[in-house]
Structure 1
Amino acid sequence: MPSTHITRPFVPIAVLVSGRGSNLEAILEAIDKKYITNGAVKVVISNKPDALALDIARKHNVPAKVLDDQGLPKISWEYDQKTIEKLHEHGVTPQEGLILLAGYFRILSPEF
């Protein structure tokens, strides 16, 4: 009988966060416990410099980046372009990766 094992491609993951990081922690723990085996978080990006999620990322040895949005409107293509640049720097693209909004308090522009 042929094997029914399905091989899935590896998926680079980015997580956009704004707060405590409870969702991020659940994602990272699922990867650590091998519940998620075909992906890894390559970068965590926050719009808030004091987001506790950044500490969680660092604790898991995941690059933690801040793109402060203070004074910017909730929807900003200019800000989103900077976010996309950071995603690309860490090998995460919409075509070849997964971008998770985990407690992210911004609204992505339609162009994103």
Structure 2
Amino acid sequence: MTTLHETIVPTPPVRRITVLISGSGTNLQALLDAAETPRLPNAAITYVLSSRSNAFGLTRAKTHNPPIPTSVCALKTFLSRNPGSTREHYDAEVARQVLDSRPDIVVLAGWMHILSDRFLEVLNGERQPPPAPALPPPHPNSLPTQTEPIPSASSPIDGHPASSLQSKSLPAPPHTQHFPIPIINLHPALPGAFDGANAIGRALEAFQKGEVKNTGVMVHRVVAEVDRGEPLLVREVEIKAEDTLEGLEARIHQVEHEIIVDGARVVLEELNKDSSS
């Protein structure tokens, strides 16, 4: 029973985040580390989809506590297993798998394919997803590996034996899927500059020619035009005269690991505000 001085504040739901990757998954790791902490409260990474079967990000997901479901949807494999299919069919299949994961938001964290209107139409609720293909996309036979260690059941995490940590569980999917599903992307450039691939290298070349002084990182909403969606967060990164490509990449990656978490939090706060109004 409540008194006149008590106010019941509803607990916001734990939001489900689906992450699309293609590589080592360092930005995915930043999201995993931040989920359900003050940096990304009431949120969990609940699905990881990779365009490459050897992406180390799959290992990060599968060895997380709790293990995160993953799948692989490789373009060449999909086209070879589905004769007559086009790139739009592939994007529709990616959208189907994303939709099946029942996300509240989708984060592109190093996804190396440009997504077409077909993908966006499905996630906006404007088009039905395709049926599952007769031959499902392949799953890797073994976990990708690299030199960076991943905590195991016997290795310590934050000073505590991993075996002593309480096993966690993923939040249940919502009963109803709400549309449109927000989609955000991380891009290592300032808005309107160096859209598309090799943005860091092109920014360094432009600096060396005296054309720019800085570069940056942004998190933006995903639209049909590549890297042209509404910027949610933008951080400038200084280019130094002594910078090599490797040095500039390292500094930009540090910013990426912060801004991708902050960008996801901005979208989740918008969702929670809309659901409470």
TM-score under structure 1 normalisation? 0.79
Q: Which amino acid aligns with 2:70?
A: A
User: Structure 1 residues 2 and 21 mapped into 2: Cα distance closer, same or farther (>3 Å)?
Assistant: same
Larger radius of gyration: 2
Q: Secondary structure at the match of 2:54?
A: coil
1:28 aligns with 2:35: no
1:63 aligns with 2:69: yes
- Contiguous gaps of at least 5 residues in structure 2: 80-85, 121-277
1:83 aligns with 2:94: yes
Name the residue aligned to 1:47. 51
Shift of 1:85: 1.5
Q: Which amino acid aligns with 1:31?
A: A
User: Structure 1 residues 16 and 109 mapped into 2: Cα distance closer, same or farther (>3 Å)?
Assistant: same
Q: Give per-residue Cα distances to partners, 1:51-104, cap 9 Å, x unaligned.
A: 0110011111111110111276xx932112111221222212xxxx11100011
Q: Aligned-residue CA RMSD in angstroms?
A: 2.5
Shift of 1:36: 1.4
Q: Secondary structure at the match of 1:14?
A: strand
TM-score under structure 2 normalisation? 0.34
Q: Which amino acid aligns with 2:114?
A: I
Corresponding residue pairs, total? 105
- Contiguous gaps of at least 5 residues in structure 1: none
Shift of 1:11: 2.0
Name the residue aligned to 1:15. 19
Name the residue aligned to 1:108. 115
